[in-house]
Protein backbone atom coordinates (compact mmCIF):
# COMPACT_ATOMS: atom_id res chain seq x y z
CA UNK A 1 0.00 0.00 0.00
CA UNK A 2 1.37 3.45 -0.87
CA UNK A 3 0.93 6.69 1.01
CA UNK A 4 1.43 9.64 -1.32
CA UNK A 5 4.44 8.89 -3.48
CA UNK A 6 6.21 6.97 -0.69
CA UNK A 7 6.12 3.21 -0.35
CA UNK A 8 5.24 1.66 2.98
CA UNK A 9 8.04 -0.55 4.27
CA UNK A 10 8.48 -3.06 7.06
CA UNK A 11 8.37 -0.41 9.78
CA UNK A 12 4.75 0.52 9.07
CA UNK A 13 2.14 -2.18 9.65
CA UNK A 14 -1.01 -2.59 7.61
CA UNK A 15 -2.98 -1.52 10.68
CA UNK A 16 -0.98 1.72 10.85
CA UNK A 17 -1.56 2.30 7.13
CA UNK A 18 -5.29 1.74 7.51
CA UNK A 19 -5.38 4.14 10.45
CA UNK A 20 -3.44 6.72 8.44
CA UNK A 21 -6.09 6.56 5.73
CA UNK A 22 -8.80 7.29 8.34
CA UNK A 23 -7.21 9.88 10.63
CA UNK A 24 -9.33 12.65 9.14
CA UNK A 25 -11.82 13.07 6.34
CA UNK A 26 -9.63 13.64 3.29
CA UNK A 27 -12.36 15.56 1.44
CA UNK A 28 -12.67 18.05 4.32
CA UNK A 29 -8.93 18.73 4.33
CA UNK A 30 -8.87 18.94 0.52
CA UNK A 31 -11.70 21.51 0.63
CA UNK A 32 -9.68 23.55 3.16
CA UNK A 33 -6.58 23.33 0.96
CA UNK A 34 -8.50 24.45 -2.12
CA UNK A 35 -10.55 27.16 -0.41
CA UNK A 36 -9.79 30.78 -1.28
CA UNK A 37 -10.90 31.99 2.16
CA UNK A 38 -10.17 29.38 4.84
CA UNK A 39 -6.71 29.64 6.40
CA UNK A 40 -7.21 27.45 9.47
CA UNK A 41 -8.99 24.13 9.89
CA UNK A 42 -9.51 22.59 13.34
CA UNK A 43 -10.57 18.96 13.65
CA UNK A 44 -11.10 17.62 17.16
CA UNK A 45 -9.43 14.34 18.07
CA UNK A 46 -9.36 12.21 21.21
CA UNK A 47 -6.23 12.41 23.40
CA UNK A 48 -3.59 9.68 23.18
CA UNK A 49 -3.78 7.26 26.15
CA UNK A 50 -0.77 7.52 28.45
CA UNK A 51 0.71 10.64 26.81
CA UNK A 52 0.33 12.91 29.85
CA UNK A 53 2.07 10.41 32.13
CA UNK A 54 4.82 9.79 29.56
CA UNK A 55 5.80 13.47 29.59
CA UNK A 56 6.68 13.44 33.29
CA UNK A 57 10.21 12.15 32.70
CA UNK A 58 10.73 13.80 29.33
CA UNK A 59 13.51 16.09 28.15
CA UNK A 60 12.48 19.63 27.18
CA UNK A 61 13.53 20.29 23.61
CA UNK A 62 12.74 19.51 20.01
CA UNK A 63 13.63 16.84 17.50
CA UNK A 64 13.44 17.23 13.71
CA UNK A 65 13.62 14.92 10.71
CA UNK A 66 12.52 14.59 7.11
CA UNK A 67 9.84 11.90 7.29
CA UNK A 68 8.84 9.49 4.53
CA UNK A 69 6.08 6.89 4.57
CA UNK A 70 8.51 3.97 4.82
CA UNK A 71 10.33 5.51 7.82
CA UNK A 72 7.42 7.11 9.71
CA UNK A 73 7.20 4.50 12.48
CA UNK A 74 10.99 4.27 12.92
CA UNK A 75 11.39 8.07 13.10
CA UNK A 76 8.48 8.42 15.52
CA UNK A 77 10.14 5.96 17.91
CA UNK A 78 13.57 7.59 17.47
CA UNK A 79 12.28 11.12 18.03
CA UNK A 80 10.33 10.19 21.15
CA UNK A 81 13.32 8.28 22.53
CA UNK A 82 15.54 11.35 21.99
CA UNK A 83 13.03 13.38 24.01
CA UNK A 84 12.75 10.59 26.63
CA UNK A 85 9.04 10.11 26.02
CA UNK A 86 8.23 6.40 26.45
CA UNK A 87 4.72 5.88 25.13
CA UNK A 88 4.04 3.32 22.34
CA UNK A 89 0.54 4.71 21.59
CA UNK A 90 2.09 8.16 21.10
CA UNK A 91 4.75 6.74 18.75
CA UNK A 92 1.98 5.09 16.76
CA UNK A 93 0.04 8.37 16.69
CA UNK A 94 3.06 10.28 15.32
CA UNK A 95 3.59 7.66 12.61
CA UNK A 96 -0.09 7.65 11.66
CA UNK A 97 -0.24 11.46 11.50
CA UNK A 98 2.87 11.55 9.31
CA UNK A 99 1.48 8.91 6.97
CA UNK A 100 -1.86 10.69 6.67
CA UNK A 101 -0.18 14.05 6.04
CA UNK A 102 2.02 12.60 3.29
CA UNK A 103 -0.98 10.94 1.66
CA UNK A 104 -3.23 13.99 1.94
CA UNK A 105 -0.79 16.30 0.18
CA UNK A 106 0.72 13.67 -2.15
CA UNK A 107 4.21 14.13 -0.69
CA UNK A 108 7.22 11.84 -0.82
CA UNK A 109 8.61 13.56 2.33
CA UNK A 110 7.61 16.19 4.88
CA UNK A 111 9.30 18.04 7.73
CA UNK A 112 8.51 16.45 11.11
CA UNK A 113 9.13 18.19 14.43
CA UNK A 114 8.43 16.80 17.88
CA UNK A 115 8.53 19.26 20.79
CA UNK A 116 8.43 19.00 24.57
CA UNK A 117 7.87 22.51 25.91
CA UNK A 118 7.75 23.99 29.39
CA UNK A 119 7.53 27.64 28.25
CA UNK A 120 5.83 29.51 25.44
CA UNK A 121 7.78 28.92 22.21
CA UNK A 122 6.26 31.51 19.82
CA UNK A 123 4.57 34.32 21.81
CA UNK A 124 3.76 36.55 18.80
CA UNK A 125 0.96 35.94 16.34
CA UNK A 126 2.53 35.11 13.00
CA UNK A 127 2.34 33.14 9.77
CA UNK A 128 5.02 30.66 8.69
CA UNK A 129 6.90 30.68 5.40
CA UNK A 130 5.61 27.33 4.12
CA UNK A 131 2.64 25.93 2.24
CA UNK A 132 0.67 23.99 4.90
CA UNK A 133 1.42 23.10 8.51
CA UNK A 134 -0.30 20.56 10.74
CA UNK A 135 0.07 21.16 14.49
CA UNK A 136 -1.22 18.70 17.08
CA UNK A 137 -0.84 19.51 20.78
CA UNK A 138 -1.06 15.93 22.06
CA UNK A 139 -0.51 17.13 25.64
CA UNK A 140 -1.20 20.62 26.92
CA UNK A 141 -2.98 23.66 25.57
CA UNK A 142 -3.81 23.89 21.89
CA UNK A 143 -2.63 26.46 19.34
CA UNK A 144 -4.00 29.99 19.59
CA UNK A 145 -5.05 32.03 16.56
CA UNK A 146 -6.70 35.30 15.60
CA UNK A 147 -8.49 36.50 12.50
CA UNK A 148 -7.17 39.73 11.00
CA UNK A 149 -10.61 41.34 11.00
CA UNK A 150 -11.07 40.55 14.74
CA UNK A 151 -7.55 40.67 16.27
CA UNK A 152 -8.80 40.97 19.86
CA UNK A 153 -10.72 37.66 19.64
CA UNK A 154 -8.20 34.94 20.49
CA UNK A 155 -9.25 31.37 19.73
CA UNK A 156 -7.59 28.36 21.36
CA UNK A 157 -7.88 24.92 19.80
CA UNK A 158 -8.74 21.96 22.06
CA UNK A 159 -5.90 19.69 23.23
CA UNK A 160 -5.35 16.88 20.74
CA UNK A 161 -7.05 18.74 17.88
CA UNK A 162 -5.63 18.58 14.37
CA UNK A 163 -4.85 22.17 13.37
CA UNK A 164 -4.15 22.81 9.68
CA UNK A 165 -2.69 26.23 8.89
CA UNK A 166 -1.92 27.78 5.53
CA UNK A 167 1.42 29.58 5.24
CA UNK A 168 2.83 32.34 3.04
CA UNK A 169 3.66 29.84 0.28
CA UNK A 170 0.07 28.64 -0.05
CA UNK A 171 -1.48 30.07 -3.22
CA UNK A 172 -4.61 31.32 -1.42
CA UNK A 173 -3.04 32.69 1.79
CA UNK A 174 -3.96 36.34 2.35
CA UNK A 175 -2.93 37.16 5.95
CA UNK A 176 -6.44 36.53 7.30
CA UNK A 177 -5.31 34.21 10.15
CA UNK A 178 -2.25 34.40 12.43
CA UNK A 179 -1.30 31.84 15.07
CA UNK A 180 0.99 31.39 18.09
CA UNK A 181 1.87 28.94 20.84
CA UNK A 182 -0.09 29.29 24.09
CA UNK A 183 1.51 29.92 27.48
CA UNK A 184 2.55 26.82 29.44
CA UNK A 185 1.58 26.85 33.12
CA UNK A 186 4.38 26.58 35.67
CA UNK A 187 5.32 22.97 36.34
CA UNK A 188 3.49 21.67 33.26
CA UNK A 189 4.68 20.43 29.87
CA UNK A 190 3.27 20.54 26.38
CA UNK A 191 3.96 18.00 23.63
CA UNK A 192 3.40 18.91 19.99
CA UNK A 193 3.70 17.13 16.67
CA UNK A 194 4.33 19.49 13.74
CA UNK A 195 4.30 18.49 10.06
CA UNK A 196 5.13 20.91 7.25
CA UNK A 197 4.94 20.84 3.47
- pLDDT value at residue 189: 92
End-to-end Cα distance, the chain: 22
- pLDDT value at residue 191: 96
What's the pTM? Answer: 0.88
Q: pLDDT under 70 in the chain at which residues?
A: 1-21
| Measured CA angle at 86 (ends 85, 90), to 5 deg | 85
- pLDDT value at residue 20: 62
b/e per residue 64-75 (b: at least 16 CB within 10 A): ebebbbbbbbbb
- pLDDT value at residue 18: 58
Domains and CATH numbers, the chain: 2-196 (2.60.120)
- pLDDT value at residue 12: 42
- pLDDT value at residue 187: 86
d(CA 53, CA 84): 12
- pLDDT value at residue 123: 77
Amino acid sequence: MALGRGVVGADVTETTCERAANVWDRLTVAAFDESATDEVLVLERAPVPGAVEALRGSRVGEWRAAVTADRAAELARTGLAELRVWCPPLADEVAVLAGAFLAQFDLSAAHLRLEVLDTISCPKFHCDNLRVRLVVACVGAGTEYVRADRPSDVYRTPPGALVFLKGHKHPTYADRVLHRSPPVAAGERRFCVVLDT
